[in-house]
Structure 1
Amino acid sequence: MNCKMKTIVPVMAVLLASSCTKNLIDKELQPINGTLKAAVATNPLLSYTKLEQTGTLRLSIPRADMGITASNGKIYFAGGTNMQAYVQYTPDTALIITGGHQSIIDIYDTATQTWGQANLSSARTDVSAVTAGSKVLFAGGNLLDTVNIKPGTNPKIKAPRAVATTTVDLYDTNSKQWTVASLSKPRYGMSGAAIGNKAYFAGGVDSAGNYQKIVDVYDATTNQWSTIPLPYGMKYSAAVARGNEIIFVSNIIQILNTINNTWTIHSVTFAYFQTIATLLNDKVCIADRTSHVVGNVNDKTFVEVYTTLSANTSFINLPTPRTGVGLGSIGNKLILAGGGDISDEHQTADIYDDVTHAAVTVPLTSGGAMNMQSVTVGNKLYMAGGRRYPLPTRRVAYPGMIDVFELKP
């Protein structure tokens, strides 16, 4: 399907106040042909050819929909949910809720292979986590309102209500101090990415479900916030940083040039409900992490790919039909983990090699899950959390496992 490119749209930034502390570290970028591009040509991982699963880890509280980011070899697994909500018909018709949204931050030190913990200022899910310089930010989220939910006594079965928040928890890895700031508008389900000392949080929805057309930008050097208009509102979107660009992906591709704050728009071939994306060399690989109980007719055997070489997207074909996948990349490898198809959930992962264009299917030691989330540190990729819908009830369960993959020469 041909994708049309719309006119570049200039935007202005508006400064907002922040309560955060100053960031001192800037990410190294190299000027190439008048623009800033990340130095990837000398990445030694690109010469590594083997990706093997080397073990599993376990979260302190099993959950899904966390905010995950890494800084200085430490991985932060923040917030998320392990809520179960189901209807009980006897003795009274009611919505039964167990579990809930979490405030815990599990911190894994990849060098010492030890765990630490911290807490968000409020329990919430759908948090956007980004590292900018020495600052780790956990922005927005869904607080969840369970008022009027009384197990066993509520015949109307009122569902929990989403409550968006403006809260941003910031951790300074230099001073070891936590501070709290605010987004310009309350929202959850944003996408986030960083270039150097700037973090970008785009889109999301408010408590009423309205899509937000705004990007909040945090400058860790000046300790200031600004906003940029987002051409198209989006929810549960994805963001990747490539050179001087932040590429936001939902049912449309919105590319922000962070040098001059201009936008370029492309279309995608398929409609995505909960978009995930990762950068494989210069390719933006796109998939859908929508969680359905098995039987989804939209299970896919491919990943959509966007490059700057064409206004069109292309596809990477994979061995296994999946929905609700976990997506990640490391070196020349792309991995789709867990998920399910029309018959059952998958306990495997498909690994694609961008050099040989071959794909293999491997078992997951954790047993897999729907909606797993990935983060890469050094030569290891961590695929974490997610949900399962086990038989016979298909009632949601949270395994709380992390599959660890290591890239080797």
Structure 2
Amino acid sequence: MKKIQWMPVIIMAGMLVACGKDDHLPDGGEGPGNGNTDTTYTTIASSGTIQLSEARSYMAAATAAGKMFFAGGNKTGGQASATIDVYTVETGAQSTLALSLPRERHTAAAAGNTVVFAGGNYDGTHASPIECYDAAGAKWLNPGSSFPRFLCAAAGLDNVVLIGGGFYGNGYYPRRVDIYNVTTQAWDSTQLSKGRAYVVAAAAGKKIVFAGGASNDPTVSDVADIYDIATKTWKTSKLSTGRADLVAVACGSQIFFAGGYSNTSNQYLDVIDIYDAATNSWSTAKLGVPRSHIAAASVGNFVLFAGGSTAAGPSDAVDVYNTKTKAWSTMKLSMVREGAAAAGLRNKILVAGGNGSAAGKSAEVFTLSK
């Protein structure tokens, strides 16, 4: 169980927080929280587990070129990891890559066939080098560095990846958002309306949304910063309630901001704020169990919210939403997991790693059927 105190000294002491793990590329593009959005499935079921190369929690996940990437995170002993577990969806083959430096409390996102790994902490240092992997060409690129930070968020859309928010130290929560164009390998920057860490991000339509988080303010944030990549302009909206340690995942034109923890009420939350990029409107739903540190992903018309932290400890709860029927259902993981990472692609969703019993070295596979 993790009850977060929103103070820089506590953050520096090593809070383990998932950072913007579930980003999305719409219209059939590849990214965690997405797979074949033009395909309608009728069922989703657990189809067993696979083993990761290394036990860890709070990884960053992304997908590109038919592969899922689960990168970095915290090893069992608390050290940062440089390992990337790679899962090829079509064949089920597993392999590994390595980051150039270990990262924890970092983020990942994909645009096209390029996966971007950014931010994080290693040996008490905030990571500034950006690492990019060309998943189609199976080669590393050299994009340079962005602003050093951790507890940040990233999302990819079309040919750009945005990396925003986070914490730098000495009470500094940057507003800066770095924009990386994977086609030209050029950098640009813009700003959030308010700097904050523990923020999450996801994309749908032509919009990328950074929401929630915490900073020097005594209460967690309800701010949702919405960036239009076509016009390169921002609009600001609000979540129904402020929170951090939430998760973001997109499906079709909708982005789901689920769960989290509020230091105002000292409660784990069950609220889901749903932003529709097509209509620029908001609605709400509820999780079956209030929790934070959830892993979330989507494939086709199904969105899955798995595990997390509750007042009683790590959770095995799974909430599933069918965007076609607008029906909610519940399932159970095979074991409790908090701080897991999730990715969805084609007809598979993987929920990988996390804290709780033997969760750290396994990934649960969910298969969707028509």
Distance 1:29 1:398, change over 3 A: closer
Task: Indicate which of 312, 316, 325 corresponds to 1:343.
Answer: 312
Deviation at 1:246, TM superposition (A): 1.1
Range with greater deviation from structure 2 (167-176 or 242-251): 167-176
Alpha carbons 2:349, 2:367 under 8 Å: kept: yes
Deviation at 1:226, TM superposition (A): 1.4
Pairing of 1:223-302 with structure 2 (within 5 A): 223-250=185-212, 251=221, 252-289=223-260, 298-302=267-271
Deviation at 1:315, TM superposition (A): 1.8
Distance 1:244 1:283, change over 3 A: closer
Secondary structure of 1:259's match?
A: coil
Task: Indicate which of 71, 84, 89 corresponds to 1:78.
Answer: 71
How far apart, in 2, do the equivalents of 1:109 and 1:29 lie? Answer: 21
Alpha carbons 1:82, 1:398 under 8 Å: kept: no
Secondary structure of 2:174's match?
A: coil
Higher relative contact order (CA 8 A, sep 6+): 2
Distance 1:69 1:361, change over 3 A: same
Name stretches of at least 5 consecutive residues in structure 2 with no aligned partner.
1-24, 29-33, 213-220
Task: Indicate which of 358, 375, 392 corresponds to 2:343.
Answer: 375
Secondary structure of 1:122's match?
A: strand
- Normalization by structure 2: what TM-score? 0.80
Alpha carbons 2:352, 2:360 under 8 Å: kept: no
- Normalization by structure 1: what TM-score? 0.73
Cα RMSD (Å): 2.8
Deviation at 1:297, TM superposition (A): 5.5
Counterpart of 1:18 in structure 2 is none
**2:116 is the counterpart of 1:131:** no
Counterpart of 1:114 in structure 2 is 93
How far apart, in 2, do the equivalents of 1:289 and 1:142 lie? Answer: 22
Name stretches of at least 5 consecutive residues in structure 1 with no aligned partner.
1-26, 31-39, 84-97, 146-162, 391-396
Secondary structure of 1:399's match?
A: helix
Distance 1:60 1:227, change over 3 A: same
Alpha carbons 2:129, 2:146 under 8 Å: kept: no
Secondary structure of 1:103's match?
A: strand
Distance 1:207 1:299, change over 3 A: closer
Counterpart of 1:323 in structure 2 is 292
Matching residue's letter, 1:387: N
**Aligned residues: percent identity?**
27
How far apart, in 2, do the equivalents of 1:57 and 1:107 lie? Answer: 12
Distance 1:208 1:326, change over 3 A: same
Alpha carbons 1:291, 1:370 under 8 Å: kept: no
Counterpart of 2:31 in structure 1 is none
Deviation at 1:357, TM superposition (A): 3.8
Larger of the two Rg values belongs to structure: 1
Counterpart of 2:54 in structure 1 is 61
How far apart, in 2, do the equivalents of 1:279 and 1:168 lie? Answer: 24
Alpha carbons 1:124, 1:144 under 8 Å: kept: no
**2:152 is the counterpart of 1:190:** yes
Pairing of 1:302-313 with structure 2 (within 5 A): 302-308=271-277, 313=282
Deviation at 1:291, TM superposition (A): 12
